[in-house]
Amino acid sequence: MAGKVWFVGAGPGDPELLTLKGRRLLETAGAVLYAGSLVDQATTLFAPPGCEVRDSKDMTLEEMSAWLLEQSRRHACVVRLQTGDPGLYGALIEMTRPLTAAGVDWAVVPGVSSAMASMAAAGETLTLPEVTQTVILTRVAGRTPMPPGEDLEALAAHKTTLCIYLSITLLHKVQEALLAAGWSEDAPILVVQKASWPNEEKIVRGTIKDIKRKCQNEKIASQAMIVASPTLGAADWPDLIRSKLYDPAFTHRFRKASAPAAISTETL
């Protein structure tokens, strides 16, 4: 009887950000196929002795599918360990279709995405009341084209938080798209390389105008998250609009209002 293939999100790089379920599966796996070019190899240290561990960085999609199918015939638990979350830029469906066709059971364990890890590393927030309540996860068109209506300029026109993946080598295109969408050249930009990786994380703050130069100075040319957001730097703003949920004048099913509604905003 065929085993089960688990697609496990390894998170952004720090092995301690792997979920408990992901770690348990790794500890019981008979075979692990991990993305060596992206996932910190330390994560595979959770695999038990005798587990067959394979790095997929030199494999094609067809070779990875064949390997997973072969291992599922030999082991009850097979893990495909992917960076971040398997459902985000992870070729998940491309790898699961051959398994489904072969009658092999599979499931997904989500992981922490580098967008969240980058904002956490920088002490920033993705959303703020009455500033932006929307987050767009996207990328710049490169060898993989963007579908109609999803070019960065069109998305940037919403002036919400933009988490831009796989685009650090195209940072000039990011700058051009943001400026074309009406962002000021002085608008803040955050770049985080290898978010959460022990001793390898780099955080660069700048503006649309100077962020490319600053990244070049830090020699950042791969594995970096770009964030453009009206929330950046909010920790240093003189005033914030309060969250209604925690406002003493706000009633919800767990708490009754204990104070009249505030007339003016104040810093939390």
Are 70 and 8 contained in the same domain?
Answer: yes
Q: Percent of the chain scored above 90 by pLDDT?
A: 81
Q: Total structural domains in the chain?
A: 2
Q: How many CB atoms lie within 10 A of CB 73?
A: 12
Q: Domain for residue 223, yes or no?
A: yes
Residue 267 lies in a domain: no
- Is residue 251 situated within a structural domain? no
Would the pLDDT of 261 be above 70? no
- At 181, list the tokens: 């969408």
Is 103 inside a domain boundary?
A: yes
Residues 135 and 184 placed together within one structural domain of the fold: yes
Residue 222 has what pLDDT?
A: 93
Which DSSP letter does residue 110 get? -
For residues 94 and 141, membership in a common domain is answered with no
CATH number, domain with residue 120:
3.30.950.10
| Euclidean distance between CA atoms 182 and 184, whole angstroms | 6
**83 and 152 in a common domain:** no
Average per-residue pLDDT in the chain? 92
Residue 258, domain member (yes or no): no
Residue 12 within any structural domain of the chain: yes
Tens of pLDDT along 207-243? 999 999 999 999 999 999 999 999 999 999 998 887 7
Candidates 84, 91, 90; CA nearest to 197 is 84
Looking at the structure, tell me whether residues 133 and 149 fall in a common domain: yes
- The boundaries of the domain holding residue 177 are 114-234
**pTM as predicted:** 0.89
Tell me the C-alpha to C-alpha distance, in Å, between residue 90 and each of 10, 110, 217, 238: 12, 11, 30, 40
Pick the more confident residue, 209 or 248: 209
Q: How far apart are CA 83 and CA 78, in angstroms?
A: 16
Q: Confirm whether 259 is domain-assigned.
A: no
Per-residue pLDDT of 61-108, as tens digits, reads: 999 999 999 999 999 999 999 999 999 999 999 999 999 999 999 999
CB 112 within 8 A of CB 9: yes
- The CATH number of the domain holding residue 54 is 3.40.1010.10
Q: Are residues 12 and 98 in the same domain?
A: yes
Are residue 164 and residue 78 in the same domain, yes or no? Answer: no
**92 plus 28 within the same structural domain:** yes
pLDDT tens digits, 101-156? 999 999 999 999 999 999 999 999 999 999 999 999 999 998 889 999 999 999 99
My answer on whether 217 and 134 are in the same domain is yes
Whether 89 and 191 share a structural domain:
no
- Whether residue 246 lies inside any domain: the answer is no
175 and 69 share a domain?
no
Do 60 and 160 fall into the same domain? no
Domain boundary among 109, 124, 158: 109
